[in-house]
């Protein structure tokens, strides 16, 4: 399978997005394209969502991005065997020509986004070309790296944003391309419609390349996969296909992203114990009503300072107004004020580390994007859901431009690209 990244391209000051031969499902070999797609691996709520996706179609991409087996080694071997079998059987086919891919997502609520998928030359954060804004968990990077080594593939694109002018260059090529019939079109059960086009014309590719060559990108979603790309790249002599990673680039001057929070589920901490441990260091108000009303109260409280919503015992508890003395003792003084006052900073440095003394490991903390699912799992399992309010995008960009990373899983940018529409084989 041919792929991008075999030529020794000189280092650039900006983004270097390269065509590749996409690996895509043959619609005649699967039940439907929507039935073989999945949210990104870290958005799938386990085990319920995983089981739902596995039962949707025997070829659902979740069998590659989240293989199920007794040990990590067997899981990764199983994913590799599955990928190779699907390719040999023609379930997945490699496109004849290298290209970039225009990708469109829209829903009935007015969300509309277009971007371009390609193989992006990797760079370290210190180079200032691709900026991370969150810390990563080493065990997740190790897990993703093992899967990538086993499959020799980029199984799902990261979501990166850049600031163009919203009209020319890459955006102009995207808009021209979208006037033609797409390679594929499908609607997933979350209500999003997806369309994909190939960009293979040399003039269009050159226009995109020239436009992006002086751009800088922010990692919106996929910090662990970007760290995985960098780790695995270091294991191969350059030049090689591993010098590049699969990404979706979106111009937020044209298509502003939606920023949502990522919630925490504390498996081993019941709500009564969580509240008792606060012991006057935070204000606690018990809320009646439904989830939407509680989230509205959280939004009002976060406008005045740090605030969190605890759930899991059948009701909601608004926790805000932390003790200034407690914050002074638990928040590191050196980072910028914008970092010190983040809800995620206060949650991890003050509540998790100091008040609740909970280690940030999977046995104790799960990170869940879906609000209702977080509450439901906490109520079912007897744990505590900590619901967060989203961070403003300008805060994220400002910290990233300063080289300051936020606590892990601080934000959820979207809409995220569906996994399974286009893959990139490395060998």
Q: Is the pLDDT of residue 34 over 70?
A: yes
Q: What is the pLDDT of residue 4?
A: 45
The pLDDT tens digits of the residues spanning 121-140 come to: 999 999 999 999 988 989 99
Q: Rounded to whole angstroms, what are the CA distances from 23 to 155, 167, 183, 250?
A: 9, 30, 13, 21
Give per-residue pLDDT as tens, 79-89.
999 999 999 99
pLDDT at 12: 45
**Distance between CA atoms of 50 and 403, rounded to whole angstroms?**
35
- Taking 3-state DSSP, the helix, strand and coil percentages for the chain, each rounded to the nearest 5, stand at 35, 25, 40
Answer whether 101's CB lies under 8 Å from 247's CB: no
pLDDT one-digit tens code per residue, 303-345 = 999 999 999 999 999 999 999 999 999 999 999 999 999 999 9
Phi and psi for 119 in degrees, rounded to 5? -95, 110
d(Cα 268, Cα 136) in Å, to the nearest integer? Answer: 23
Q: Tell me, what's the pLDDT at 5?
A: 40
Region 44-50: mean pLDDT is 84
Average pLDDT over residues 7-14: 53
According to the model, what pLDDT value does residue 152 have?
Answer: 98
Pairing of strands 384-387, 316-320: unpaired
- Predicted local distance difference test score (pLDDT) of residue 403: 86
Q: At CA 341, angle to CA 337 and CA 342, rounded to 5? A: 120
Taking the C-alpha atoms of residue 321 and residue 101, their distance in angstroms, rounded to an integer, is 48
pLDDT digits (tens, 9 = 90+) for 171-214: 999 999 999 999 999 999 999 999 999 999 999 999 999 999 99
What are 379-412's pLDDT values in tens digits?
999 999 999 999 988 888 889 888 888 988 888 8
158 contacts 222 by C-beta, under 8 angstroms: yes
Peptide bond into 78 cis (omega under 30): no
Q: What is the pLDDT of residues 347-356, one digit of tens each?
A: 999 999 999 9
pLDDT value for 28: 94
Helix locations, 213-290, DSSP H:
223-233, 271-278
């Amino acid at each position: 399978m041919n792929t991008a990244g075999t030529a020794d391209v000189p280092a650039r000051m900006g983004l270097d997005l390269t065509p590749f031969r996409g690996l895509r499902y043959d619609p005649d070999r699967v039940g439907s394209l929507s039935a073989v797609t999945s949210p990104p691996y870290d958005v799938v709520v386990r085990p319920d969502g995983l089981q739902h996706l596995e039962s949707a179609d025997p070829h659902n991409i979740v069998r590659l991005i989240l293989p199920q087996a007794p040990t990590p080694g067997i899981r990764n071997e199983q994913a590799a065997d599955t990928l190779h079998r699907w390719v040999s059987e023609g379930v997945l086919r490699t496109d004849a020509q290298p290209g970039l891919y225009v990708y469109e997502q829209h829903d009935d609520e007015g969300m509309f986004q277009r971007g371009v998928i390609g193989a992006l030359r990797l760079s370290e954060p210190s180079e200032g070309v691709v900026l991370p804004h969150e810390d990563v968990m080493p065990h997740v990077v190790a897990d993703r790296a093992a899967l990538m080594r086993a499959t020799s593939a980029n199984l799902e694109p990261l979501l990166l944003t850049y600031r163009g002018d919203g009209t020319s260059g890459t955006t102009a090529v995207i808009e021209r391309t979208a006037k033609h019939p797409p390679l594929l079109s499908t609607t997933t059960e979350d209500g999003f419609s997806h369309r994909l086009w190939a960009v293979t014309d040399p003039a269009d590719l050159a226009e995109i390349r020239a436009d992006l060559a002086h751009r800088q990108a922010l990692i919106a979603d996929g910090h662990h996969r970007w760290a995985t790309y960098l780790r695995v790249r270091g294991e191969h002599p350059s030049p090689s296909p591993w010098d590049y990673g699969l990404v979706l680039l979106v111009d937020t001057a044209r298509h502003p992203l939606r920023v949502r929070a990522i919630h925490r589920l504390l498996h081993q901490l019941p709500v009564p114990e969580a509240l008792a441990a606060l012991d006057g260091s935070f204000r606690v108000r018990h809320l009646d009503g439904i989830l939407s009303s509680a989230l509205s109260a959280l939004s009002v409280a976060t406008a005045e300072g740090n605030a969190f919503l605890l759930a899991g015992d059948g009701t909601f508890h608004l926790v805000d107004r932390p003790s200034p003395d407690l914050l002074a003792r638990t928040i590191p003084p050196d980072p910028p004020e914008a970092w010190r006052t983040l809800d995620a900073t206060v949650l991890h440095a003050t509540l998790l580390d100091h008040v609740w003394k909970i280690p940030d490991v999977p046995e104790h903390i799960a990170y869940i994007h879906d609000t209702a699912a977080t509450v439901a799992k906490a109520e079912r399992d007897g744990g505590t859901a900590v619901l967060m309010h989203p961070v403003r995008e300008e805060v994220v960009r400002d910290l990233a431009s300063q080289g300051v990373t936020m606590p892990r899983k601080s934000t959820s940018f979207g809409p995220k690209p569906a996994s399974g529409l286009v893959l990139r084989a490395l060998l």
